[in-house]
Amino acid sequence: MMRWVQWHPLMTVRRHFTESGIKKEIIGMSDAKVSGIVHLIEDTKTYGNKGFQKRLVVLEQDKGSFTNYVPIEFTRDSCSSVDEMTLGDEVEVNYRLNGRRWQKDESSEAKYFLNAEAMSFRIVSGGGGDTMTERVSEPNDAFAEAGDDEAPF
């Protein structure tokens, strides 16, 4: 059964009613998707006084003449959903791009960072199977708590 879950309060969830149940689909944000083989799963890291959590998953894509490695960040409550992935799984991740500006002080050069934040994912096939299974985490209402002064770069 397909299950897409809202992780960000600004997202819209569309529900489709079918004979087999309700299908929810994320709309209203970026529909960007990336797929690949799970190459690396880092442990969850915690930053700042409020306990902001982040977990990195790296996907591997064979592009013929080279291999592309795509880092995807899972944040807050979605960090625990990564436990459902294993190395070698083929996954598809819906993500949104986040950009940040950082400057140590007014006289220093400004630096810009870009990251891909996972919104949901599904395991297309596991290392030992060919079944398609949806995997997502529970809703996350905590994004509003993160402050700019706690950016984990």
Q: Mean per-residue pLDDT for 67-84?
A: 93
* pLDDT score recorded for residue 149: 52
Q: Which domain holds residue 64?
A: 33-135
Residue 20 lies in a domain: no
* pLDDT score recorded for residue 111: 95
The pLDDT-based confidence of 125 (bands split at 50, 70, 90) is confident
* pLDDT score recorded for residue 133: 46
Q: What distance in Å separates the CA atoms of residue 42 and residue 40, rounded to the nearest whole number? A: 6
Residue 91 lies in a domain: yes
Total domain count for the chain?
1
**In DSSP terms, which residues pair with 16 in a beta bridge?**
23
Residue 21 lies in a domain: no
The CATH number covering residue 40 comes to 2.40.50.140
pLDDT tens digits, 15-31 = 555 666 655 554 545 46
Residue 120 lies in a domain: yes
Residue 146 lies in a domain: no
* pLDDT score recorded for residue 25: 54
Structure tokens at 128: 């030992």
pLDDT of 97 strictly over 90: yes
pTM of the model: 0.62
Residue 42 lies in a domain: yes
Higher-scoring residue by pLDDT: 44, 138 = 44
For 31, 90, 113, 147, the CA distances from 108, given in Å and listed in that order, are 36, 42, 16, 22
Q: Beta strands of the chain (E only): which ranges?
A: 12-18, 21-27, 33-41, 45-47, 52-62, 67-75, 90-102, 111-125, 133-135
Residue 22 lies in a domain: no
